[in-house]
Structure 1
Amino acid sequence: MIKAAILDVDGVLTYFRSAWQHLHKVLGTDEWASVNRDAYKAGLINYRDWALVDALLWMDVPRTWVEVPITLRRGTLELLRFLRDNNVLVIAVSGGLNYTGIPIRDYVNYFISNELVYDENGSLVSVRVNVENKDIVNELVSELGLDWDYVMAVGDSDMDLPMLRKARYSIAYNPVNDEVANAARIVINSDTLYPLIDIARAILSR
């Protein structure tokens, strides 16, 4: 029985693993962004400072340039519809950015991510860090009165480890390393999300 599904976005629902890097490539700022990434990895700045200086590379860029169309992984909308039609609460959580929530907003109950901030003219001015790590889902699960025994969690990276270790139905989707794979009950390696639909259907039919 599944009452809620917590789905990572970057790398699971999307083909790219980082909404930050994807936007840098689109806007041509990836070279400068690499300096920020190196500083963060070296421990010279913390996550929040990294997010701020990274977003500053897009200062004054129009919202229409930032909210670029993205290609969802094949099977994404089918999966979200299947969960919704079976009365499963869908929670999409991302360490990336809120533009990735645009194509799925009509299919999820909750979308949690870092938020790009715009001024009254629609120009980017900053970023609001909401997801420094995936521990944030613990708060939502508690607020909703959910039991982890009735939660399906799907992730691919180290950031997803907390929820993969807690959820009864934990799925590592194209995991980035062995630690992520070992934290889950099920491992899926696929270019589409159709295998995930089959697994969810099997769990719900119990």
Structure 2
Amino acid sequence: MVRLIAFDLEGTLVKSVSSWVELHKKFGTWEKGKEYAERFFAGEFDYATWAELDALLWRGHTREEIMEWANSVEYMDGAWELIEFLKENDFKIVILSSGLMCLAGRIARELGVDYVFANELIFDENGFVTGKVKSVVDFESKGRILEELKKEFNPELTVAVGDGYNDLSMFRVADVSIAINPHEGVEGDHNVESLHEVMEIIEGLLE
């Protein structure tokens, strides 16, 4: 019987806080990026518009510069062990990130997860950022994507693991939600401080 687990990426499986914020800081565009974030949360424009406004600030930077950052991001303690445990116990493993595919794709390949969803910067034929973004995961998408995967696999158990407001939509869809070092106001069925605790909870669910 198939089981399904969906992970947020940043702050959950890896030590990056936000692809968007960290690239703003790398490229010296954080002041404008912070302004765009405030305007998004004030309801001035939708997520796809926000993503492209951010990406426009990086136009002319290269894929190599982006990947230099993405390849520097470290795993949370226990990430590899947890993923191996899940594979051994018949879980389909999904990464759902409202960050960027440059990081999410790298982590998905290295860990060997089944599915990865994230937003993609569009590069031109010479590898420069164009300012366009393929927007896949906004603040509500995680729940919709997880719901579709549940319909496809009809799992006996669905677990969601994350830390932020944009994870609440997948928490609502999962049978069991686990909040790891959650942001203020974010709660799961279980609140934990490490991926080792996540593994303990899942071991308990399988008994």
- TM-score with structure 1 setting the length: 0.88
- Using the alignment, how far apart are the partners of 2:88 and 2:103 within structure 1? 23
Which amino acid in structure 2 is aligned with residue 120 of structure 1?
A: E
Change (3 A) 1:27 1:78: farther
Aligned twin of 2:123: 118
Q: Counterparts of 1:1-206 in structure 2 under 5 Å?
A: 3-67=3-67, 68=69, 69=71, 70-101=73-104, 102-106=106-110, 107-125=112-130, 126-132=132-138, 133=140, 134-147=142-155, 150-178=157-185, 180-181=186-187, 184-188=188-192, 190=193, 192-204=194-206, 206=207
| Number of positions where the alignment pairs a residue of Structure 1 with one of Structure 2 | 199
Please list the CA deviations of residues 96-136 of structure 1 after superposition, one character each: whole Å capped at 9, or x if unmatched. 11122213324210010111111111111121100122233
Please list the CA deviations of residues 38-78 of structure 1 after superposition, one character each: whole Å capped at 9, or x if unmatched. 22122222211111110111112110101222111111122
Give 1:199 shift: 1.9
- Using the alignment, how far apart are the partners of 1:19 and 1:131 within structure 2? 13
Q: Is the 8 A contact 2:2 2:154 kept in 1?
A: no
- Using the alignment, how far apart are the partners of 1:176 and 1:8 within structure 2? 13
- In structure 2, stretches of 5+ residues that fail to align are none
RMSD of aligned Cα (Å): 1.9
- Using the alignment, how far apart are the partners of 1:163 and 1:137 within structure 2? 8
Give 1:146 shift: 2.4
Please list the CA deviations of residues 147-205 of structure 1 after superposition, one character each: whole Å capped at 9, or x if unmatched. 4x510111111111122122122111111123x21xx22111x2x4111122222222x
Identity percentage of aligned residues: 32
- Using the alignment, how far apart are the partners of 2:146 and 2:93 within structure 1? 15
Q: Is the 8 A contact 1:2 1:151 kept in 2?
A: no
Give 1:143 shift: 4.9
- Using the alignment, how far apart are the partners of 2:11 and 2:164 within structure 1? 8
- TM-score with structure 2 setting the length: 0.87
- In structure 1, stretches of 5+ residues that fail to align are none
Which amino acid in structure 2 is aligned with residue 83 of structure 1?
A: L
Change (3 A) 1:173 1:10: same
